[in-house]
Structure 1
């Protein structure tokens, strides 16, 4: 196998009942395994940043999560607060109500407003489109809109809707997004075989809560 699975993984815990002890455990696991980042609730960013000090693991958090229909001003404030606490990467849910209503002007304004503090601070922005709730034409339209901007990643899913990452969605995103924009597949990635298929389809990052199990399977499959 020509790649290290750990270098794709955002080790994730975002359930509503997440405790500080669980976040600490995720941080230790990510540091030991060499994952790219931990993706955690905003309230835990400062503590995770301190715990991971000296490691290469980034701290990611979520914005407008998980439904996406927060006012743009609220999302901007969430971003500013997360950056202040030390977040390296921001995973932002788009306003799906606007998308389903055909209000692309609002989505454009939302993105431009949210991009400003992220890039002023030199951070990473991932735009979550909840691909499992979109038609193919809507997903293509998202690729066309967000592909015009200097976002870092488009992310398939929150993991809180009925459908998470799919091979089909990742392939479509890779086809219709510029090569400079990464793809994060997230939601329902519970075994190494599916993770490998998503990477083969074009995913550059994987959001996983079953990361340690995936690494065990990866090592068995590849002899790593």
Structure 2
């Protein structure tokens, strides 16, 4: 879509404001919620133990709460990830961002990954909660990324996501285009990691990302207001 057709409001509605850094204090979490409410982002993406606080804080604002599961390395067992999902939904999560088991993907344990997705998706579907699946593309080959797309499509997740933002490389245009080419249109793509400017956002949006995770929400939206208007 040409840049001129995007408004700051539309851009904000595609941002998951990231509040995942381990050192963030509760005061900083509160400030992040204030930013999300002020700019009306799609969600705040939060650490598990912040879910209940953020859900209560943002109730009635229109901003959703996305909680991470198996974050950031995907190393928990299927049972633990399913428990995390159930707990965070109980605490008020509207969306779940799940990290796939990276080492097992690279080892070819595709059946395991599919079982994990089915277990977590079952918890999400029971409560009408969206599931975003994080591949962590920087550790995967092109063929492995395609296989993740195929499994995610088979299971029927809502979003596939490039990365956690905590590996050596975050979102790239090449990976987003690869993911878009290998999933049906109804499965959306989230980009995360290294999205710091409006131009970064627009590049990934034009490549196919309809949701983007960033800590640079204020900078991106303020620049978009200047460039495109509200």
The one of 48, 52, 61 aligned to 2:58 = 52
1:78 paired to 2:84: yes
Indicate the residue corresponding to 2:165 in structure 1: 159
Partner SS for 1:15: coil
Taking the TM superposition and a 5 Å limit, the aligned residue runs for 1:210-221 are 210-221=216-227
The one of 10, 15, 20 aligned to 2:21 = 15
How much is the aligned-residue C-alpha RMSD, in angstroms? 0.9
The one of 178, 186, 189 aligned to 1:172 = 178
Indicate the residue corresponding to 2:145 in structure 1: 139
1:94 paired to 2:100: yes
Partner SS for 2:45: strand
* Counterpart-to-counterpart distance in 1, 2:75 and 2:51: 22
1:2 paired to 2:5: yes
Taking the TM superposition and a 5 Å limit, the aligned residue runs for 1:108-127 are 108-127=114-133
Q: How many residues align?
A: 224
The one of 148, 164, 170 aligned to 2:154 = 148
Offset from partner CA, 1:25-52 (integer Å, 9 cap, x none): 1111111101000001111111111111
1:198 paired to 2:204: yes
TM-score for both structures, normalised by structure 2:
0.95
Runs of 4+ in 1 over 4 A off after TM superposition: none
TM-score for both structures, normalised by structure 1:
0.98
Q: Gaps (5+ residues) in structure 2?
A: none
* Counterpart-to-counterpart distance in 1, 2:141 and 2:134: 15
| CA contact 2:33–2:57 (8 Å) conserved in 1 | yes
Partner SS for 1:148: helix
Identify the structure with bigger relative contact order (alpha carbons < 8 Å, sequence gap 6+): 2
Instruction: Report the Cα offset of residue 119 of structure 1.
Output: 0.6
Taking the TM superposition and a 5 Å limit, the aligned residue runs for 1:25-36 are 25-36=31-42
Partner SS for 2:195: coil
1:67 paired to 2:73: yes
Instruction: Report the Cα offset of residue 217 of structure 1.
Output: 1.5
The one of 100, 111, 129 aligned to 1:105 = 111
